[in-house]
Amino acid sequence: MSVKTYKLTNNNGMAITVTNLGCAIISLEMPDRHGKIRDIVLGLNNAEDYGTVNHPCCGVICGRVANRIGRGKFTLSGKNYQLETNIGANHLHGGNSGFDKKIWQVKEASENKISFTYNSPCGDANYPGNLVANVTYILDDTNTLRIDYNTTTDTETICNLTNHSYFNLSGHDSANIYDHVLEIVSDKITVVDDEFIPTGEFLDVTGTPFDFRTPRAIGEDIELCINSTSETMLSKAGGYDHNYVLRAPGKAASVYSPQSGICMTVYTNSPGMQLYTSNMMPTGDKSVTGKGAIYGRHSGFCFETQIFPDAINKPHFPSCIVTKDKPQQFYTEFKFTVQA
């Protein structure tokens, strides 16, 4: 199969360009408060670049298991599995040949909807079971982008799909997202160790930099952590790269750009959401260049709706196990509005 691009549109001037390589969202264009069209996701220059450039998962579907698995190891039905370790001693986003590097088959395509499927064979990246992953993007006239994730298998395996789009609601070529006003409907995060693997503990966000229950600027504590000499979860990450425990299915978060007036509200039935503020985006000569812009540290944010990281090794976390009789069905909606 060849790499192709597809465009979804609605009746309000929104347009989303996606590719079958990694199901990547290349661009998301919409009018701001003055009617100016802004592209509000970071993306690469060409669709083919998503398979050839060592990019930081811009806009792609991550899998089989998004986020981290400690030491790349897990046990399922009494059998031990060792996955590729591609971030230090740990496994991240399905490894170097994960779903983001696969060309997906298009099942259905129309003006406002596209459905992709990928058949991942048993042993793919050393995961067990034949897994069929289906991802559908729908753009409707309420300015909502809906992503449906459906996975089935012929035998027990693990899966945790997410979309890894980097948003900058001021425009993909804006400097950073420090002024974006963020709200997250969550009372706690999963605590991580120095390698960002969950310890199994939870942290109440009250009185911490992770508390976004009352809307405030994303950059408020990022700038403090950059200049801090203390070792905290925030300073070690260089920003936010943490899983929020969502209260219940429904609204998960909202974020607003004072520059453009664009607001995005997120709804999901996933139990968790990783807030990532592009802390590891390369700088200097190794900077990521896309669509005529240079993307540096904190140039975008990700809302990775998900099952908790390393869930397979934490029995008290929501399960990421898929069986023949228990498929996975998750959704995420990004609803866009404009404030005067």
pLDDT at 281 over 90: no
Quote the mean pLDDT of the chain. 95
CB atoms within 10 A of CB 96: 12
Confidence of residue 283 (pLDDT cuts 50, 70, 90): low
Residue type, 30: M
R_g (Cα) of the chain, nearest Å: 19
Q: Chain-centre distance of CA 13, in angstroms?
A: 25
User: What 8-state DSSP symbol labels residue 49?
Assistant: H
Judged against a pLDDT cut of 80, whether residue 285 lies above it is answered with no
> Which pLDDT does position 262 carry in this prediction?
98
Domain count, the chain: 1
Closest C-alpha among 9, 14, 44 to residue 172: 44
Q: Over range 168-176, report the average pLDDT.
A: 96
Tokens coding 178: 């420090």
DSSP 220-275: HHHHHHHT--S--HHHHHTS-EEEEEESSSEEEEEEE-TTT-EEEEEEE--SEEEE
Q: Provide the CATH number for the domain around residue 127.
A: 2.70.98.10
pLDDT for 317 equals: 98
With a cut of 90, say whether residue 118 has pLDDT above it. yes
Percent of the chain at pLDDT above 70? 97
Active site residues: 164, 304
Which of these ranges, 48-52, 188-192, 258-262, has the smallest mean pLDDT?
48-52
Say what the pLDDT of residue 284 is.
61
Q: Which of 72-81, 131-140, 234-243 has the lowest mean pLDDT?
A: 234-243
pLDDT at 52: 78
Please tell me the predicted confidence (pLDDT) of residue 79: 98
**Residue 154: band (very low, low, confident or very high) from pLDDT cuts 50, 70, 90:** very high
3-state secondary structure of 100: helix
Spatial separation of the C-alpha atoms in residues 116 and 149, rounded to whole Å = 10
The Cα–Cα gap between 67 and 308 comes to: 8
How many residues does the structure list for the chain?
A: 340
Compute the distance between CA of residue 60 and CA of residue 165 in angstroms, rounded to an integer: 7
What's the pLDDT score for residue 229? 63
pLDDT in tens, 288-302: 889 999 999 999 999
pLDDT at 282: 73
pLDDT of residue 1: 82
CA atoms of 27 and 291, how far apart (whole Å): 9
Q: Could you report the per-residue pLDDT of 189-217, keeping only the tens digit for each? A: 999 999 999 999 999 999 999 999 999 99
Identity of residue 198: P
Task: Quote the CA–CA distance of 103 and 125 in Å, as a whole number.
Answer: 15
Residue 86 confidence (pLDDT) above 80: yes
Domain boundaries, position 303: 5-338
Residues 19-24: what's their mean pLDDT? 98
Identify whether the C-beta of residue 328 lies closer than 8 Å to the C-beta of residue 322.
Answer: yes
- 72's torsion region: left (phi>0), alpha (psi -120 to 50) or beta? left
